Structure 1
Amino acid sequence: MRTRSGPRAGVTAVLAAALALGVAGCVSLDEPEQTPSPTAGGNPAQLLGQLTVAGAGSMKGYSRNRFPHWRDTGKNCDVRDNVLKRDGENIKLSGCNVVGGRWESAYDGRALSDPSDVDIDHMVPLANAWRSGADEWDDAKRGDFANDLDRPQLIAVSATSNRAKGDQDPSQWKPANRSYWCQYAADWVRVKHHWGLTVTSAEKAALTDMLEDCTWASNP
């Protein structure tokens, strides 16, 4: 566990106390959490080989409401706020709401400073998950999936890139930022593997191609 000392520790203590007391106004956080390594939790290429290949299921019965989000994570705070804080820099808060900061959209490289221009994308889209096996879950489990902060399922990106992606899989859409393809493919695989979701043959082929260009993909 990392510890702080000196003036920075005092600032951190004051900030924590202010948030705990619900002090009005804005505060700034400038230490975002680190993005996990693409190989954390297992080699993505190996995990991809463990996924079940199946045709895309029906959209019958699908609704975003079947994946309840965003869950509360504190007083006037929800999962969306958590992701904005985690993925941004120089975050400004009003209570628990993110009102300012800086985000770099990994999908297209855009720099964003207005939270309203930032979307929280589900790495594996809800509709894709429905077609991949989530249609058989109950709404509580679908809610766990839609609010999953433990896997790389949620990411702050530009609204334009998120809308362009829609519910498409990597055989249909890839980030314009090609340098992010390794991370994108690894995260997609890790989410599907954890949740036991299937992949189509075209989806698996696209992910295989993306992972083959990664220097770490062939290592155990």
Structure 2
Amino acid sequence: MRLLTALAALALPADAEGVPLGEAGGTLALPLQEAVEALPAADESRAGYIRTSFKHWTDADKDQCNTRQEVLLAEAFLAPGQGARCALSGGEWYSPYDDIYVDAAGGLDVDHMVPLAEAWDSGAGEWSAREREA
């Protein structure tokens, strides 16, 4: 609910002092339904979508662990072992979507919570390659 409330702040005016609602000094309290209704809406377009437009599995901090490995390490319920070049072994993760524990990292999808085609439809097609990678 906080996320939707925060997103709704983007579409709402400033308070009496000119502080945008939802920022430091401003306040915003809306029921969830009103926050959702306040979100801006626009037509989506999949024109030009190519899956390879989204570079992933990069090693942004150059520590030998790519994005997938970083997420697996950060979200492990029971930490996996970490070998050369960040090879992960063992470990356990909890999946709140189906209320199960997973003990094989290969059984997890961690690359995105929003399908890339949906991100494209919603505006990622306007982003630079660097923004899509980030």
Asked if Structure 1 and Structure 2 have the same fold, meaning a TM-score greater than 0.5 normalized by the shorter chain, the answer is yes
The higher-RCO structure (CA 8 Å, 6+ apart) is 1
Q: Superposition RMSD on alpha carbons, in Å?
A: 1.8
**Is 1:122 matched with 2:112?**
yes
Match for residue 98 of structure 2? Answer: 108
Query: Pairwise mapping of residues 59-208 of structure 1 onto structure 2 (< 5 A)?
Result: 59-72=46-59, 73-88=61-76, 89-95=78-84, 96-144=86-134
Offset of residue 44 of structure 1 = 2.5
Offset of residue 64 of structure 1 = 1.9
| TM-score (norm. length: structure 1) | 0.43
Matched residue count: 102
Identity across aligned pairs (percent)?
Answer: 37
| TM-score (norm. length: structure 2) | 0.67
Offset of residue 121 of structure 1 = 4.1
**Counterparts of 2:50 and 2:88 in 1: how far apart (Å)?**
28
**Counterparts of 2:110 and 2:4 in 1: how far apart (Å)?**
26
**Counterparts of 1:80 and 1:91 in 2: how far apart (Å)?**
13
Checking the alignment, whether the CA contact within 8 Å between 2:68 and 2:111 is kept in structure 1 is no
From the two aligned structures, give the one with the greater helix fraction: 1
Checking the alignment, whether the CA contact within 8 Å between 1:102 and 1:112 is kept in structure 2 is yes
Offset of residue 67 of structure 1 = 1.1
Give SS of 2:73's match. Answer: helix
From the two aligned structures, give the one with the greater strand fraction: 1
Offset of residue 102 of structure 1 = 0.3
**Counterparts of 1:121 and 1:140 in 2: how far apart (Å)?**
16
Offset of residue 46 of structure 1 = 2.1
